[in-house]
Amino acid sequence: MKNIGILTSGGDSPGMNAAIRAAVRTSVYHDLDVFGIRRGYQGMIEGDIFRMQTTDVSNIIQRGGTILKTARSKEFMTDAGMQKAYEQLQKHNIEALVLIGGDGTFRGAAHFFEKYTIPAVGIPGTIDKDLVGTDFTIGFDTAVNTAVEAIDKIRDTAEAHDRLFVVEVMGRDAGYIALYSGIACGAEDILIPEQHTDINAVLDRIDFDERRKKTVHIIVVSEHDDFGGAKEVKDSITARFPLLDVRACLLGHIQRGGSPSQADRVLASRLGFAAVNALVTGITQVMAGVINDKVVFTPFVEIVKDGSYVNKDMLEMIRVLSS
């Protein structure tokens, strides 16, 4: 193996640049030529590929986003798209790949490598923390800290005006950002897609708090909760408590950006280093992750989104600590 390609795919997450940096520098250490593939699988299809040096990754460890850009490619999921991607890899003599992304990235990889035998190792880059095979994903810690900082500021104005705020955080089908940020901020309620939301129970808790003169109430809701987002929750509260001052706040994409936290920089560096070393030693078609502070490798076909690991004890803890 002489040449290695690196790409970022799917949604961006803070720490992707740190992973790119580690993968590039580890490759150079092993005397490999490194090629960056811009815009993920779509860039692979279009041949948006360039040679990288260690200087290309200088001063990027602290930057959010990804210097390789990212995209989601429907074309790559077709036979014709995969054929084009393979031809571009052959054209550039790329013999192995490091893939940084989430579940969609690894699903695409599993399909691609069923047809074409190119060694590849994945790195979990997603703010959702929803993949089997690793305790944490790159970007999750930063996204949670961003949400915590925002919710703390919202609580300040909630206290000043005796308002109830419903704060919506990202997470698509996973409630980890809502769960961790809500606990860290002392939220009175946390609504996540992994657990059915009984809106009447939520309203009853608000009624109880109102009767005991608790004037500040923060509800953190994951964007794809089964009841709905912040607006739907706010409308239900207003319908039952028309005199209550209720506001909805969507944190949105601020959670994706920003300088990665120390935890995300270290995790990304460990996994970028491990991914290249795995390829060098013949380990392939796997995602590198960290479980119990040890690097582990999980086959692409086993990398799925799974919400079953949400700790139900944490949900019970919320009820106790918010009372």
| pLDDT confidence band for 103 (50 / 70 / 90) | confident
Q: Is residue 275 part of a domain?
A: yes
Q: Is residue 174 part of a domain?
A: yes
Cβ pair 4, 98 in contact under 8 A:
yes
User: What is the predicted pLDDT for the residue at 82?
Assistant: 95
Least confident of 1-10, 60-69, 105-114, 131-140: 105-114
| pLDDT at residue 131 greater than cutoff 80 | yes
User: What is the predicted pLDDT for the residue at 215?
Assistant: 75
The CATH number assigned to the domain holding 243 equals 3.40.50.460
76 and 107: one domain?
yes
What span, in angstroms and rounded, lies between the C-alpha atoms of 185 and 321? Answer: 11
Tell me the average pLDDT across 105-116: 87
CA distances from residue 91 to 3, 48, 136, 280 in whole angstroms, order as listed: 12, 12, 36, 22
User: What is the predicted pLDDT for the residue at 89?
Assistant: 97
67 and 171: one domain?
no
Tell me the average pLDDT across 60-67: 97
Which residues are catalytically annotated? 128
Reading the block at residue 157, the tokens are 């104005």
Tell me the average pLDDT across 134-163: 95
Query: What domain count does the chain have?
Result: 2
105 and 199: one domain?
no
Tell me the average pLDDT across 79-87: 96
Supply the Cα-derived Rg of the chain in whole angstroms.
22
Strands 286-291 and 294-299: antiparallel
102 and 46: one domain?
yes
Question: Mind listing the pLDDT tens digit for each residue in 272-292?
Answer: 999 999 999 999 999 999 999
Tell me the average pLDDT across 131-136: 92
Short-list 222, 167, 219, CA closest to 193: 222
| pLDDT confidence band for 69 (50 / 70 / 90) | very high
User: What is the predicted pLDDT for the residue at 306?
Assistant: 58
What span, in angstroms and rounded, lies between the C-alpha atoms of 141 and 122? Answer: 19
| pLDDT confidence band for 305 (50 / 70 / 90) | low
Q: Is residue 150 part of a domain?
A: yes
**DSSP codes, 214-263:** ---EEEEEETT-SS--HHHHHHHHHHH-TTS-EEEEE-GGGGT-SPPPHH
Which parts of the chain fold into alpha helices (H)?
Answer: 16-29, 40-46, 79-91, 103-115, 140-161, 176-184, 199-211, 230-240, 262-280, 312-321
Determine the structural domain holding residue 160 and report its residue range. Answer: 140-256
User: What is the predicted pLDDT for the residue at 211?
Assistant: 80
Q: Is residue 24 part of a domain?
A: yes
Instruction: For the chain, give the mean pLDDT.
Output: 93
122 and 264: one domain?
yes
112 and 166: one domain?
no
Short-list 52, 84, 88, CA closest to 68: 52
- What contacts 210, CB < 8 A, 6 or more positions away? 241, 244
| pLDDT confidence band for 321 (50 / 70 / 90) | confident
Q: Is residue 319 part of a domain?
A: no
Q: Is residue 244 part of a domain?
A: yes
The DSSP output letter for 55 is G
User: What is the predicted pLDDT for the residue at 322?
Assistant: 66
Tell me the average pLDDT across 109-122: 89
145 and 250: one domain?
yes
121 and 8: one domain?
yes
Q: Which residues pair with 317 in a beta bridge?
A: none
User: What is the predicted pLDDT for the residue at 303?
Assistant: 83
The percentage of residues in the chain with a pLDDT greater than 90, rounded to a whole number, is 78
161 and 83: one domain?
no
The CATH number assigned to the domain holding 282 equals 3.40.50.450
pTM of the model: 0.93
